[in-house]
Amino acid sequence: MILSKVTKRNHAIFKAQEILSNSDKYIIVDTETSGLGDSAEVLEICAMNLQGEIVLECFFMPTGMILPETISKHGLTKEVLQQKGAITWDNSADKINQALAGKIMLAYNSSFDQKMIMQTAALYGYDSPVKEAFCLMRLRQQFTGTKNTEKLGGDHTAQGDCRQTLRILQEIANAEIEEDSEILEINNNDDLVNICLELEEISAQRLALSKREDIIKTKCGLYLKKIERNNMPLNNGQQVERIDSITQVKSKVPLEELADDFKTTSVNHHAVRKLWQQGKLNNSLFDYVETWSIKIKKH
């Protein structure tokens, strides 16, 4: 199946949105190194979650030399590293493993960072904590439709490059979906099959986002209930409001024994829910499951 440039771009947008909606699975990582080859070592590493919070930042004193051409980019000489309190990898191995283990490493040119982490860890007798990686540079190429390697555009510090990586991911995720005129043409059975396959992919991504949204809303609602707050202002001029409700309402008695307000063709869930919210529901009549959610509105 040959995808058009517009379709590839849209797929990149969907993937970026999927990553952001499953942020707990990913960790953004960048390294500055002593060189590019098999003997190069990590001099600086930064790991950042997708909310932009730094979870790991370390400087390391290498066992070998630092190539002049890399110093010209990041400025990390052994003297500078000493001033920054650089240690050896083995002194931070547990901290690094805790930050990266079980996460998908998201990096710009991820194969390079993955290689540098692996060979630096091996130098001290450790396994690499990175088991899976995703390359944002490749996603950006898919998004822009170019085969040329685009520079990250960071400041050549591990933290600065992590922040730039997050910005690029957000820019892709926030881009507008384009209508692909080629995709909309159905001239034969193969066209129909290809479009349906794409539709299934879109539906799966939408379902994943919807489930993620429900989980987040439930957790927020439960937290507000825990701290006994109905609402809380956000720092963007809006506020989050708690929504208490019930689902899976079932009558404990035959329908004919219920008042008309509680009946349509079955149990009138809206009427039951309204009385429950008012604290006036006769619990001997119904089984139900309590739920909590939120809505965000202008403050």
The whole domain housing 167 covers: 5-173
Q: Are residues 167 and 286 in the same domain?
A: no
For 57, phi and psi rounded to 5 degrees?
Answer: -155, 115
Indicate if the pLDDT at residue 71 is higher than 70. Answer: yes
Q: Are residues 151 and 253 in the same domain?
A: no
Higher pLDDT pick, 30 / 289? 30
User: pTM surpassing 0.75?
Assistant: no
**Domain CATH number, residue 153:** 3.30.420.10
What pLDDT is recorded for position 143? Answer: 92
pLDDT band at 17 (very low <50, low <70, confident <90, very high): very high
What pLDDT is recorded for position 297? Answer: 64
pLDDT tens by residue, 99-156: 998 899 999 999 999 999 999 999 999 998 998 899 999 999 999 888 777 777 777 8
What pLDDT is recorded for position 19? Answer: 92
Is residue 213 situated within a structural domain? no
What pLDDT is recorded for position 4? Answer: 76
Q: Half-sphere exposure of 75 toward its Cβ, with a 13 Å CA cutoff?
A: 7
What pLDDT is recorded for position 212? Answer: 85
Mean pLDDT of 8-14: 90
Indicate if the pLDDT at residue 14 is higher than 70. Answer: yes
Is residue 204 situated within a structural domain? no
- DSSP per-residue string spanning the chain: -PPPHHHHHHHHHHHHHHHHHTGGGEEEEEEEES-SSTT--EEEEEEE-TTS-EEEEEEB--SS---HHHHHHH---HHHHHHTT-B-GGGTHHHHHHHHTTSEEEETTHHHHHHHHHHHHHHTT---S--EEEEHHHHHHHHHT--SPPP----SSHHHHHHHHHHHHHHHHTSPPPP-HHHH---SHHHHHHHHHHHHHHHHHHHHHHHHHHHHHHHHHHHHHHTT-SEEE-TTSEEEEEEEEEEEEEESS-GGGS-GGGBSSSB-HHHHHHHHHHT---TTTEEEEEEEEEEEEE-
What pLDDT is recorded for position 1? Answer: 47
Is residue 179 situated within a structural domain? no
Share of the chain above pLDDT 70, in %: 94
Of 148, 173, 198, which residue constitutes the final position of a domain?
173
pLDDT band at 289 (very low <50, low <70, confident <90, very high): confident
Q: Half-sphere exposure of 298 toward its Cβ, with a 13 Å CA cutoff?
A: 0
- Using CA atoms, how far apart are residues 109 and 157, in angstroms rounded to an integer? 15
Higher pLDDT pick, 228 / 238? 228
Is residue 218 situated within a structural domain? no
Of 173, 191, 208, which residue constitutes the final position of a domain?
173
pLDDT band at 264 (very low <50, low <70, confident <90, very high): low
Mean pLDDT of 63-72: 91
Share of the chain above pLDDT 90, in %: 39
